[in-house]
Each structure stands twice: as C-alpha cells, then as structure tokens.
Structure 1
Amino acid sequence: MRTFVSALATVLGILLAAVAVPAIWVDRNIVQEDGFVRLAAPLGKDPEFQRKLATAAVGTIDTGSVPGFLSGLVEPMLEKAAESLTQLPGYPAAWEETLRRSHRLSFADPAAAPQGGASASSLTLDVAPLVALGAEEISRATRLPLNPPEQTLINVGQPAQREWTERLATYAPMGYVLAIGSAVAFLLALVAARRRWTVLLASGVGGLAVAGLWGLGLQLGSGRAQATDTGNAIANMFRDEFLAAAGADFQAWITTTAVTGGVLVAAGIVTLFASRKRVGASR
C-alpha cells in the first residue's frame, strides 16, 4: 500500500509541476505588467523595429491645425522626427509607457475596455507616448502647436486571440496553487516510500521528460504563432521579436528544470548505492 501511495503521489507531483511551472512563467512575464515590460523592453532597442515604429508613430501626428502655407515646413520636420525619435532622451521612458499602456489594453476587463478596436486582439500597442514625444520635438523646433492623440493603436494578432488573454489572466495565477500541490505530493511520496531512492530517481526522470516536452511545445507554439500573419508589418516585427525574447526567457526555466531533474537522478543513484552498502555492511 505504501508503495502504491508513493508511486501515485510521485506521478501526481510530476503532472502538477508540468502545468504549474509554465503557468507561473506566464503569470510573471505575460499577465503581470512589470514582467511584460521587462520582457518586451529590449525590443525597443532593435534598430529596424525602432525605425519602422518611429515612422508609423510620427506618421499619425495630426498636422491639420498647421496653416497651409507652413505645410512645406512641417513635412520635412516629420521625416526628421521619425529618424531621430529613438535618439531623443525621452525615448526610453516613452517606449516603457507604450508597453505599459499596451499591456493594460490587452489585459483589461472587456466590460471596462474603451470603445473601438482597443480590445480586439491579444495584444494592442498604444504608441501614443511615442507620438507625443515626436509631436513635442516638432513643436519645439517649429514653434507650431501640435496636439497628439490620447491613443494611437496598432493591433497585434487576430481578434479571436482576445479570448486567450482573458484565459491567461484567469488561469495563469492558479499555477502557484498547483506548485504547492506538487510540493505536497512529492513530500507525501517521500514519506510513504519504502525505498526513497525510487522517488528521487522517478522524479528526476520525470523532470527530464517534462523539460523535453516543454522544449518541444515551445518550438511548436512559436512556429505556429509566427505563421499567423497580423496584416501589419510593425505588428509582425513586434510579434517575432517578442516571441524570441519570451522563448529565450522560458528556455532558461526549461534548462533549470532539466538540471534539477539530472540532480535528482544522480541523488537517487547515490542513495541506492548507499542503501545497498549499508545493507551489505550489516550482514
């Protein structure tokens, strides 16, 4: 009976851990705003992405209030602002605020979301802070008043993906509960086991198998996401860069799990030989 309970608890612990770890990663790096900003912030340093994003942002600046005879002065300034936007001192703060606004839009309660397309997709970039930075620079150089919009939205993904963001926000935090359940299951397995080395060995092999499955799932998921065209060049670039950053970050968790599994396998083998040595010495 003890052996059955120990085996069942070990399998349960592995299964719970297999779900808990990805859920915790998603909660910390996707659902939580600070984690998302940390993960996506380096994307603003990619030169090609910077150039296209700055051009798109500056291109949305409304110059309707500028007198017609001054339009010839404003157009060159728009082009110059697009080229120099990422070099401005306020760019890092504007990019971070863009990410924070975008995260709030994408993970907002649908009932509280603003009207329009703000909540249509899984991730909506609100580049209004970058637009405001460009408008401020143009106004400073030309002395002409420019009023940037409160929102400038670029949809990333497909409308159906909005449902996935709601599911992530709802279920990802449950990973912490599952992790506690996994720890309790492993503890029960060790307490009930007649031979504890079997629990260590089985847990290690299970950890290695789970790490392999996560790696395979990461490759398949990234490939499927990249195969979906958003219909927007900037959105496609953001998606590809974000997937690469997310994959590299989660890969570190996979590696940690694989190393932990290897350590448990080694501990199980050492414990096995130690127990046999004690039995041999007692005869």
Structure 2
Amino acid sequence: MIRSVASGLLWIVAVAAITVTLPVAWVALNVADEDGFVELTAPFATDDELGDALSAGVADAVVETTGLPVGQQLLRELVDRAFTRLVDDPQFPEAWRESQRASHRATFEDGEQERLVLDIGPIVDLVGDEIADDLPVALPSPETIVVPVTREVQPRAIEAVRAAPSQAALGGAVAVLASLGSVLLARRRSVALGFWGLGVVGAGGVLMLAANRAVPDLLATRAADSELAATMRDLLAARATAAFEEWLLVTVVVGGVAMLVGFGSRIVRR
C-alpha cells in the first residue's frame, strides 16, 4: 500500500516536472543558446516579406550612417538594387547568420537592451561592399546597427531566458528521478510505465494548446516601431510556435510508446 501511494505521488511530481520543464528546456536550447537561436532564425533569410522589410531597414541605416544631405533617394535605390542581387548570393545566408549571432549577443549577453533586438550590422556591411564602387565617398561601417524588435523593454523575460539552462537542468533531474521512482516503486511496473506514458502524452497535449496562445501573447502582440521590427516579431512568433509544437510531438510519441509497452505487456501477461 505504501509503495503504491509513494509511486502515485512520484508520478504526480514527474508529470508536473515534465510539464514545467519541457518549455523551459526548449527555450534553453533554442533561445538562450546562441547556436540554437541562429538555427531557429536561419530560415528567415529566404522569407520574401522579411526581405522587403530588411531592404528598407538597410537603406534607412545606410542613409543615416552616411549623413549625406542630398542624393538620399538615389542612395536608397542603389541599396535596393544591391539587396535584390545579394539575396540570391551565397554570402547572404552567412551574413544573416552573423546578424543573428550579433542580435543574440546584444539581446541576451550584453544586458543593455532589455528587449529583443535585431542587429543588421553584418547585412549593412555586405550591402555597403556591394555599392561601394558606385559612391563618391566611402560608407561608414558601424560595428552594430540595432533595431528593437519590440518597443517595450522586457527585462524579466530576458532574465528568464538567461536562467532557462540552469532551470531546465534542475527540472530535468527532478523529472527523471521522479519518473524512475514512480516506476520502480510500483507493484506493477508495467502498469506504472503505461501511466507514466499517459501522463507524458497529457503534458504534451496541454502544452500544445497553451503554445498557440502563450507565444503570440509574448511576441506577436508587442508593439513595434518599424516594418522590419514587426515582420521579425511575427516571424519569430510563428517559427517558435511551430518549432515548439514539433518538439512536443516527439514528446507525445515517446509517451505513446511508453503507454503501448506498459499496458500492452500487462495485457499479454494476462
């Protein structure tokens, strides 16, 4: 009796820990981690809507950095044509990846922005090299050109992302130990495994429903000051939701397999 009660309590702890830890672990791997963030946003380089907004944003940055009192329209046209050529150039995806690395560092490592930002410095450099021969003066080359993705500062959200790796490690340890304890203490371990799988499937299903609301609330409804910022914000919200759902689908499959193995083996024994 005591073993069954202890197993049941550990099952509750395990399912709760899994439910809480899964989104934190996803954030740790795909947002807090620089390489994960770069891979998450890499497909944006081929998005047409972002390309149009990025071209306009780069043109604004080039005009601002040059400070020329005349010929701004001609400069914007040069930038637009150069950007159109560079989108299909092998250098562009790499420049975009470098932009995302710089954006990640500016957002999560420097600690000054306190909100999500997009650093288009590497893109501006690439376009500047392309149009350098068409200009009578050399373009300045700022190290960073930061575009805020959200208008409001979000220091708590940024700090939560920074803390995600350590919290995911702690939550993962609790989930693993509680899961093992729940199965090992059970009088019928196959049944306990089946119920563990049921709990995992339930956790994945609940999180799938929550993801469709939580991510848009966190990003897509935040005010943006430019077309580039708004486009990047919307792409991030859509991409994060889709990627997290893929992550949860794997979780549901694992839980489903555990259910089949656990309950199935019990049925076979009968």
TM over 0.5: yes
Which residue is 1:180 aligned to?
173
Which residue is 1:63 aligned to?
66
Q: Is 1:164 aligned with 2:157?
A: yes
Q: Is 1:217 aligned with 2:210?
A: yes
Which of 141, 145, 157 matches 1:148?
141
- Higher mean C-alpha displacement, 2-11 vs 55-64: 55-64
Unaligned runs of 5+ in 1: 114-118, 278-283
2-structure distance, mates of 1:205, 1:192: 18
| Cα displacement string for residues 112-151 of structure 1 (whole angstroms, at most 9, x for unaligned residues) | x4xxxxx042x11111111111111111334631112222
Which residue is 1:280 aligned to?
none
Q: 1:262 to 1:33 in 2, by over 3 A?
A: same
* Secondary structure of the corresponding residue to residue 184 of structure 1: helix
* Secondary structure of the corresponding residue to residue 117 of structure 2: strand
* Secondary structure of the corresponding residue to residue 16 of structure 2: helix
| Cα displacement string for residues 42-79 of structure 1 (whole angstroms, at most 9, x for unaligned residues) | 1111012112202211222133469x6x8786554234
2-structure distance, mates of 1:71, 1:218: 44
Normalising by structure 1, we get a TM-score of 0.85
1-structure distance, mates of 2:149, 2:74: 34
* Secondary structure of the corresponding residue to residue 81 of structure 2: helix
Which residue is 1:6 aligned to?
7
* Secondary structure of the corresponding residue to residue 37 of structure 2: helix
| Cα displacement string for residues 157-211 of structure 1 (whole angstroms, at most 9, x for unaligned residues) | 2433232011221134321232122112122122211112331222122112101
Q: Is 1:196 aligned with 2:189?
A: yes
Question: Percent identity among equivalent residues?
Answer: 28
Q: 1:80 to 1:15 in 2, by over 3 A?
A: same
2-structure distance, mates of 1:165, 1:222: 14
1-structure distance, mates of 2:46, 2:186: 53
Q: Is the 8 A contact 1:23 1:173 kept in 2?
A: no
2-structure distance, mates of 1:72, 1:163: 41
Q: 1:2 to 1:220 in 2, by over 3 A?
A: same
2-structure distance, mates of 1:171, 1:74: 44
Q: 1:213 to 1:172 in 2, by over 3 A?
A: farther
* Secondary structure of the corresponding residue to residue 66 of structure 2: coil
Which residue is 1:45 aligned to?
46
- Runs ≥4 in structure 1, deviation > 4 angstroms? 70-76
The one-letter code of the counterpart of 1:10 is: W
Q: 1:88 to 1:58 in 2, by over 3 A?
A: farther
Q: 1:191 to 1:102 in 2, by over 3 A?
A: same
Unaligned runs of 5+ in 2: none
Q: Is the 8 A contact 1:81 1:134 kept in 2?
A: yes
1-structure distance, mates of 2:10, 2:134: 69
* Secondary structure of the corresponding residue to residue 43 of structure 1: helix
Q: 1:171 to 1:92 in 2, by over 3 A?
A: closer
Q: CA deviation at 1:237?
A: 0.9
Which residue is 1:54 aligned to?
55
Q: CA deviation at 1:28?
A: 0.5
Q: Is the 8 A contact 1:203 1:265 kept in 2?
A: yes
The one-letter code of the counterpart of 1:230 is: A
Q: Is the 8 A contact 2:55 2:80 kept in 1?
A: no
* Secondary structure of the corresponding residue to residue 230 of structure 1: coil
Normalising by structure 2, we get a TM-score of 0.89
**Which is greater in Rg?**
1
1:113-152 pair list within 5 angstroms: 113=112, 119-121=113-115, 123-142=116-135, 144-152=137-145
Aligned pairs, how many?
266
2-structure distance, mates of 1:14, 1:52: 43
Q: Is 1:263 aligned with 2:257?
A: yes
Q: Is the 8 A contact 1:65 1:146 kept in 2?
A: no
| Cα displacement string for residues 57-103 of structure 1 (whole angstroms, at most 9, x for unaligned residues) | 1222133469x6x8786554234234334234432221111100000
Q: Give the superposed CA RMSD.
A: 2.2
